[in-house]
Structures are given as structure tokens and as C-alpha cells.
Copies of this chain bind each other. A is one copy, B any other.
Amino acid sequence: MSRELPTAFAIGEALRIALAGDPDVILMGEDVAGGGTRPAGTDEAGGILGATRGLIKEFGPERILDTPISEMALLGAAVGAAATGMRPVVELMFMDFLGVCFDPLLNQAAKFRYMFGGKARLPLTVRTVTGAGMHAAAQHSQSLYWITSGIPGLKTVIPSNAGDAKGLLLSAIRCDDPVIFCEPKQILFLSSEVPEGDYEIPIGKANLVRQGGDVSLVGMGATVNIALQAASQLAQEGIQADVLDLRSLQPLDEEAILTTLGKTGRLIVIDEATPRCGIASDVAALCVDKGFDLLNAPVKRVTAPFSPVPFSRVLEEAYLPTPQKVIDAVHELF
């Protein structure tokens, strides 16, 4: 029996399953229990966007922990707890807040295992909201997953729909490495099919969500829908597109990228992040290295411009990738 849920609910469901199945799993973050870790019954909040609503009632204040607005201590303590036997899931409200708690990820979580000669396990998950689309402006709209993806020792995943969010989050929590789980604003309140029960989607594997043979559209998070919309329109002109959902940004599924490139010879990456030093460049660089012989055309990147995220609706629309921008890029290749 299929059912549709908004992504935020699917995330809540994954958290519930992970908490029920493993006593070491705990949740930490601002207002994740509803504010002040108060007794069951006053959990109306559940994080600023409501993803953890209700969990305090089920799992109690020892496992669902409200924290002060002290992200450095929050992340640092989560790293310390993970290294000593817990399996913490941290809510970092918006990924932009990385600015105040970068060290525990950059220099601690990412490096413990290596620096300590393999003698550390860091089962830490950081859930964090990314991206633009809610007129939240420059400090609440960034897609900074390129930063965490670029740091050896971290893994970074990003779902494109509710069902994937559930399965990827379960994998992230159960992974013995630190995983950054991105929650794109544009999909958080979109509904899609979510299987019942416990299932995992492997980290490191991309998903071919549409089959075509003429051009490859590679997306991640919210841009997968954009790619799919572009693909439908392109189909009407007779251009059939493969659409690849990366799902995992680090590790990157190089094989899947090269496979679709091998079919089509033409590839476009669509990324909501800014263009420099991003996932889009990595995909393009992979194509021109290992995929050189497969290429029939330039690799195009449809990304945000190299600017902060603007507030005004009209500017934000101009800022984000759209199906039309993808279609225009495709036309350049034929």
C-alpha cells in the first residue's frame, strides 16, 4: 500500500525507527524536543521546521535533548559522545550556521579516525536544512554541501524526495562515519511516496531516476525535480534524457556518472549551490578525466550564480536553477 508524506514527516519517521532500534541513538539540537526539554505533553515545536515533533513523548528527555544556542558546544559534544559510544543525531538548524561550529566537523569528526591511526569510530549524523526558495536571504539559504563534501573523513548525502530522505537518513545514522544529511528547503514540504517500515538506501550510490539516451542530466536534492521537469519538456522536442540523482555527494558514485555519460556522450550537472569549487565542477572534472573518450560535447554546469542568495522573490527566482535554464543548456549541446 503506497502512501505519500512530506519529506519532513519522512525524516521524523526515520528518526523514530532509528531511536526505537538502537538505544545509543540520541537527538540533540535547538528545540528538537520542543524547547527546554520539558516533560512529555509540551512538544508542540520539534525543531524550527517541526521534523522532530512528537519524539520527546515517545523517547523522553534523556534521548531527545534540547540545547542552548551554542552550536560549537553542540557539535563538539556530539563528536565527543560519538567517539565514546553514543550515536548522536544533531540538528544544525540551517547549514549556514556551519560558520559558528565548523571546527568540530573540519578538524575533529573528519580527522579522528585517521589521526588516531584507525582507532576511532565516529557514528555521528548532522541533519541540516540547505538551500534557497523561502526568501530567507543570504544567511539562511546556502547550499554549503560542497564544503562538507570536500573534507576527507566526512560523508555527505542529500535526498531529492521523501522516500529517499527516510532511507538515506537511516543509512546515515547507522553508518560508523560522520555523515552530513542535507535537507533541501524546496523538498521539505513536498510529498512523495514513502515506503512503510525500516529500509536503507546505501550511501555512495546514485540513482538513475529516468532513462533516456540523448543527454545526461545529473542533479542532487531539489535539482533532481528540476532535471525531471526539463526532461519531460525535452521529450516533447524528441530529446530523451537520462536523469541521475546523485543522492550521495561524498562518496561520489563515479561509476554511475560515467555509465550515463557513456550512453549519451553529453552531460549537464544541475546544482543549486554556487559554481566555484562545487559538486558540479567535480562531476565535470571527472568527465574530462576518466570520461574523456566518452564526451561528445562540452559539459555544462547549471548552478546558482557566484553571488550570495538574494532576498527579493524576483531575485531569488533568477538565482535558482530552473527547468528552462537546463533546457537552454541542453540546446547548447546539440
Are A149 and B284 also in contact (CB < 8 A) when A114-B307, A299-B289 are?
Answer: no
Contact with B along A143-169 (1 / 0, CB 8 A): 000110111110000000000000000
* Smallest CB separation, A61 vs chain B (Å): 30
Q: State which of B98, B284, B297 has its C-beta within 8 Å of the C-beta of A281.
A: B284
> How many angstroms from the CA of A110 to the CA of B250 in the assembled complex?
26
Whether the Cβ atoms of A107 and B277 lie closer than 8 Å is: no
User: Are A299 and B308 closer than 8 Å at their CB atoms?
Assistant: no
Q: Are the C-beta atoms of B288 and A152 separated by less than 8 Å?
A: no
Interface check A282, CB cutoff 8 A = yes
Chain B residues with CB under 8 Å of A151's CB are 274
A114 — nearest CB in chain B belongs to which residue? B308
Q: Does A106 contact B (CB under 8 A)?
A: yes
Say yes or no: A300-B307 contact (C-beta < 8 A), given A102-B99, A111-B138, A139-B111: no
A176 at the interface (CB under 8 A from B): no
Q: Does A96 contact B (CB under 8 A)?
A: yes
A92 to chain B, nearest CB (A): 13
Measured in the bound complex, the distance between the Cα atoms of B150 and A282 in whole Å is: 13
Count class of interface residues, chain A: 35 or more
A289 to B153, CA, bound (A): 30
Oligomer: number of copies? 2
Contacts of A4 in B (CB 8 A): none
B300 touches A289 (CB 8 A): yes
Q: Shortest Cβ distance from A264 into chain B, in angstroms? A: 15
Contact A152 B289 (CB under 8 A): no
Mark out the residues of chain A between 286 and 329 whose CB falls within 8 Å of any chain B CB in the assembled complex: 287-290, 292, 295, 297-301, 306-308, 310
* Residues of B close to A282: CB separation below 8 A: 276-277, 281, 285
By beta carbon, the residue of chain B nearest A103 is: B99
- Chain A window 253-295, contacts with chain B (Cβ cutoff 8 Å), 1 for yes, 0 for no: 0000000000000000000001011111110110111101001
- Across the interface, name the chain B residue whose C-beta is closest to A299: B288
Cβ contact of A98, chosen from B102, B114, B250, cutoff 8 A: B102
Are A297 and B289 also in contact (CB < 8 A) when A276-B250, A277-B278, A279-B277 are? no
List CB contacts (< 8 Å) of A3-56 with chain B. none
Decide if B103 touches A107 in the complex (CB within 8 Å).
Answer: no
Indicate if A115 sits at the interface (CB-CB under 8 A).
Answer: yes
